[in-house]
Amino acid sequence: MSTTPTLVAAMATDVGRVREHNEDSAMAEGTLFVVADGMGGHQAGEVASQIAVETLRQLSGRSGLRPRDLVEQVKAANRAILTSAAQHPEQTGMATTLSGLAAVMVEGSEHWAVFNIGDSRVYRLVDGQLAQVSVDHSEVADLVRIGAITEDEAKVHPARNLVTRCLGRDPLEPVDTWVFRPQPGERFLVCSDGLTNELDVPEIAEVLAADDDPQVVADTLVARAVRAGGRDNVTVVVVFVQGDLPAEVGEQAVPR
């Protein structure tokens, strides 16, 4: 017997211990989960991340979403940020990362789509293993990829905040997407770099698995990142899949 899986989600954010303003924005609604980390002077980063999240929010509640709908909406968010910056000189150059997770339909069956531009991240926890789904668009990520620095060195590198792709730029660099089948019991984390620069992967995995209440998990992740230094705004959205998946999906995902 299988029952329709239910999603439970929660979010948490904190300005941290160094920054004066929280320029991160986030949303968790239905089957759409988004985090954006804004950049720009005079609190324009906050404006950019909010425009990005609110533009994506227009897709929430829409059924039969396809991966390309997400990409088109990210492009719309980029245009909205550029339009606002053109109308308000103090917003010139404002930008934002955008990372998200959404349920999509692919060839008639439900899949997950992850989308990303910038260095916020989407992680997936399956069978106790935490994996980063998204790929960072940042100078330090490129340095790690070519073996010039380690992951630990990247966290304290002077260029750690320099993203190589973001929203608020014309032309827009490509938005990455990943599409995959759901797995029973999986958990997701969408977060800004204020979390991942403070906590390592084993600790994130431990906290993500430690409680069945997503709000407890979200609050614990943020509290630990702030305690560890809180050098940046910290924002997390956690998503838990509860219950069995539909039979045809479950059978492919888990051999019985």
The residue ranges that bind Mg ion (CB under 5 A) are: 37, 192-194, 232
Q: State the nearest-atom distance from the C-beta of 38 to Mg ion, in Å.
A: 8
Q: Is the dihedral of CA 120, 100, 57, 210 positive or negative?
A: negative
Q: In this complex, which beta carbon is closest to Mg ion, that of residue 151 or of residue 213? A: 151
* CA 51 distance to own-chain centroid: 15
Q: In this complex, which beta carbon is closest to Mg ion, that of residue 5 or of residue 16? A: 16
CA dist 207 and 218 (Å) reads: 9
Q: In this complex, which beta carbon is closest to Mg ion, that of residue 18 or of residue 210? A: 18
Q: State the nearest-atom distance from the C-beta of 99 to Mg ion, in Å.
A: 11
What separation in angstroms does the CA of 31 have from each of 58, 75, 134, 151, 239?
A: 12, 20, 18, 31, 9
Which SS3 state, helix, strand or coil, does residue 208 take? helix
Q: In this complex, which beta carbon is closest to Mg ion, that of residue 46 or of residue 232? A: 232
Q: State the nearest-atom distance from the C-beta of 95 to Mg ion, in Å.
A: 12
Q: In this complex, which beta carbon is closest to Mg ion, that of residue 31 or of residue 233? A: 233
Q: Is the dihedral of CA 18, 12, 77, 158 positive or negative?
A: positive
Quick count: other Cβ atoms within 10 Å of Cβ 129? 8
Q: State the nearest-atom distance from the C-beta of 140 to Mg ion, in Å.
A: 13
Q: State the nearest-atom distance from the C-beta of 121 to Mg ion, in Å.
A: 11
Closest CA to 53 of 214, 167, 165: 167
Q: State the nearest-atom distance from the C-beta of 45 to Mg ion, in Å.
A: 9
Q: In this complex, which beta carbon is closest to Mg ion, that of residue 181 or of residue 224? A: 224
